[in-house]
Structure formats: structure tokens, C-alpha cells
Structure 1
Amino acid sequence: MKNRFLLFFLLAIVSSCVTDGDDFYERIPFDGTGYTPIYKTAEEMAKIEVIGAQPLSKPGKIYVLEPYLFINESGKGIHIVDNSDPKKPQNISFISITGNYDMAAKGTFLYADNLTNLVVFDISNPKVPKLTKTVPNAIPVNNYPPFDGVYFECVESKKGIVTGWEKVPMSQKPNCMR
């Protein structure tokens, strides 16, 4: 008898919170903007290279291997900075890694995400980092923007791999939202 009463009580509470026509999708106002996916091919995504120094624009995590700093550039890769003179740090190179948002290090190995892949670099000589291993599909990736309460164009996998999102003006409300 107690179980029936508890079940009835829970059902009454849940049903009091739901109303006809109450749709989360409809409650988020459309402001004429939304996110569109940025696509790349598998070959473009897998291209990892050490290039000349790049300016920092959206820095993230920092790893210190005295006197070097490894600074994540959100979505793009990792800056290598010689910090021998902290008053005049020298940006020496950049590891270009598509879809790189996170990194970690242990000893002389630097681990970074490359969208769904995990890449490992030997940084025993920080001036010449070496890609030593790629672990494919080690990281789950969601096919929606990393924001809540936004509209976005639905992903079409035949166009490629989603490597990022761009907020753009839209003439009509897209079919996807989060």
C-alpha cells in the first residue's frame, strides 16, 4: 500500500511540472544567429606540424618544463615559449594541431587532443618536439556546439569532420538546438 501511495505521489509531482505545448525548443528565443559547423577532411584533421611562432589569441592551459612554456591555443595547437628570461619570453614555435583544446604532460611527454585522436609528443628537446604516437578515436566528440541554449545547423557527416563552430547570422531558425 505504501509503494502505491509513493508511486501515485511521484506521478502527481511529475505531471504537475509538464504542460501541453511546453517545449524547451520553443522557449529559447531565436535572435537571428546560430552556429554553423566548420568541416575538414580526415587528411586535413590528421595533419600535425611544427611551424614558426604564432601570436597568442585564445590561450588555454599552460605546462611548464623549465625554462619552456607550452601554451594551448584553443582549437588550433600548442605554442612553445622559451621563458629563460621571464621579462622577455621568446615565442619559438607552434605545434599546429586541429581541434586541440586540451593538453597534459608527464616528464618529457606531452599529450594533446586532435579532435577524436590522442597525440603524444616527445618534448625532451622542446625546440624540436617529435610526434611519437597517435591513438585514433581515443576521445569522444559531440556533434554540437559546446554551449547550451543555442541554435545550430545540424551536422552532415558527408561534409567531413566537425573541427569547430562559428556563430553566424541566420535568416531562419535552424532545426537543431542545444
Structure 2
Amino acid sequence: MKNLLRLFFLFAIVTSCVTDGSDSFERFPFDGTGYRPIYTTEEEMAKIEVIGAQPLSKPGKIYVLEPYLFINEAGQGIHIVDNSDPKNPKNISFISVAGNYDMAAKGKFLYADNLTNLVVFDISDPKAPKLTKKVPNAIPVNNYPPFDNVYFECVESKKGIVTGWEKVPMSKRPNCSR
């Protein structure tokens, strides 16, 4: 019985190991697509500013501070919309925050991620939000896409900071997966 258990554990260990990354081994089928990192520079990451209204393309979370809406734009920042007339909302400005995927608000403060940084805005006057604080390295970030069972191009830190991922066609299976 002991030998049978040893054989079982040996089999489990051998079959769970990942090979050297050659094309002969696949953890799951490759469908011809994978994720490519979107890089930005440290200077672009640090640049946070209120600019003119931008079109919504990948909206996320919404925070309501009557009559204003704060709408997250995945990876880009936060839209400010005047919703005084719900039949005719007016997109009034955009807070450009690279690597922004999440936000929360309490009272007159809006909290947002800036990749690894936490940024805090005073929104007591929603027409003129003010950056009041930046907490560096407050949020852990992983260098892989936020999806399971996908292939992706391995991150090359010399190319910059990864602020997002795009799914693209690939002619061969990338070396990285999760």
C-alpha cells in the first residue's frame, strides 16, 4: 500500500510540473489570441490632470454626488457628468489618471487607483476637482492579465510600466500563461 501511495504522489508531482516553455507543452489550448501588455512611462503615470470632456468607451463604476456622476473609464481616468437633467446629461470634464480601474468615494473625497498609487481628490466642487493626496505603492499590482487560463506576452520592465492589457491575435503561443 505504501508503494502505491508513493507512486501516486510521484505521478501527481510529475504531471503538475510545467516544462521549459517549448511549444510541445500546453497547459490549456491556444486559440490564436493572447494578451499584450500596454506600457507607459513613469512620467505619463505621474501626470494627473483635469481636461475637457472625453467620450465614454469603456465605462466602469459610477459614483453619484447629486446632480453629478463620476464614471470610471477603464485604464484612463474618471468622467464627470452633470446629470441635472437626466434626459440630457452633460459630460463636463475628465480626470486623466493612467492605470485607473477602480474608484470609491466618501463625502467630498474621491479615491482612485493610479496603478500602484492611491490618489485622493477633493470633489466638494465637482466642476473643479483637486488632487489632494497621492500615496505611492499603496496598491499591489501583478505583471499579468486579470484573467485565468490565458496566454500573454511576458512583461519586459525596460519597456515601461504595464497599465493594461489588450487581447490580440498571435501567430504563435506566447511563453507566459496563467
TM over 0.5: yes
Please give the alpha-carbon distance, in whole angstroms, between the structure 1 residues aligned to 2:52 and 2:11: 57
Tell me the CA shift for residue 147 of structure 1.
0.8
Read off the aligned partner of 2:92 and give its amino acid letter. Answer: I
Q: Which amino acid aligns with 1:59?
A: P
User: Which stretch has the larger CA shift, 115-124 or 158-167?
Assistant: 158-167
How far 1:58 moved relative to its partner? 1.1
Query: 2:145 is matched with which residue?
Result: 145
Determine the C-alpha separation between the residues in 2 that align with 1:27 and 1:136: 36
Letter in 1 for 2:43: E
- The Cα offsets for residues 42-75 of structure 1, whole Å up to 9 and x where unpaired, read as 1111111111111111111111111111011111
CA distance in 2, matches of 1:58, 1:28: 29
Aligned match of 2:45: 45
1:17–1:107: structure 2 CA closer, same or farther, 3 Å change rule?
farther
Report SS of the residue matched to 1:26. coil
**Residue type of the partner of 1:165?**
W
- 1:23-172 aligned at under 5 Å gives the runs 26-172=26-172
Equivalent AA in structure 2 for residue 122 of structure 1: D
Partner of 2:26: helix, strand, or coil? helix
Whichever residue aligns with residue 45 of structure 2, its letter is M
Q: Which moved more, 1:24-33 or 1:43-52?
A: 24-33
Deviation of 1:30 after TM superposition, in Å, equals 1.2
The secondary structure found in structure 2 opposite 1:43 is helix
Match of 2:22?
none
Structure 2: stretches of 5+ with no match in the other structure: 19-24
Identical positions, percent? 80
What is the total number of aligned residue pairs between the two structures? Answer: 170
Name segments (4+ residues, structure 1) moved above 4 Å: 19-25
Matches of 1:18 and 1:69, distance apart in 2: 53
What SS is found at the alignment partner of 1:95?
Answer: strand
- Please tell me the root mean square deviation across aligned C-alpha atoms, in Å: 2.2
TM-score, normalised with respect to structure 2: 0.87
- Residue 15 of structure 1 corresponds to which residue in structure 2? 9
What whole-Å deviation, never above 9, does each CA across 1:86-133 have from its counterpart, x for those lacking one? 111111001011111110111111000000000000101100001111
TM-score by length of 1: 0.87
